[in-house]
Structure 1
Amino acid sequence: MKQKYVLIDCDPGHDDVMAILSTIAHPDIFHILGITTVCGNNLVPLITENMLNVLHYIH
């Protein structure tokens, strides 16, 4: 199967984190070009820090 290239734009609440983890778990299907964070559950600096913590934890 040909990989799908994705750019993830998220806030990232728990639902977005689960979607990102599911995407990362399938590198044979998805090639993540990048992850951007936007205001949603909190302010962007805190959201970005949280996303970086999630990515650090899984790697």
Structure 2
Amino acid sequence: MGCVTVGRENSESYESTAERLPGLIKDLMFVTVEGGPHDIAWTRPEEVGTALPEFLAK
């Protein structure tokens, strides 16, 4: 079980790596932030902060 929050600004790396993670990690909570960059926790903390309580409640 895990939680991954990723930005989708760089669609090339998103499609080649991040998009594959749910199929590789069992019970993964995968959150995509549209328009978010690679360093999503620094630049878009609101979206990351919204996902964390949901994950921790599981």
Structure 1 length-normalised TM: 0.42
Computing the radius of gyration from Cα coordinates, the structure with the larger value is: 1
Higher strand share: 1
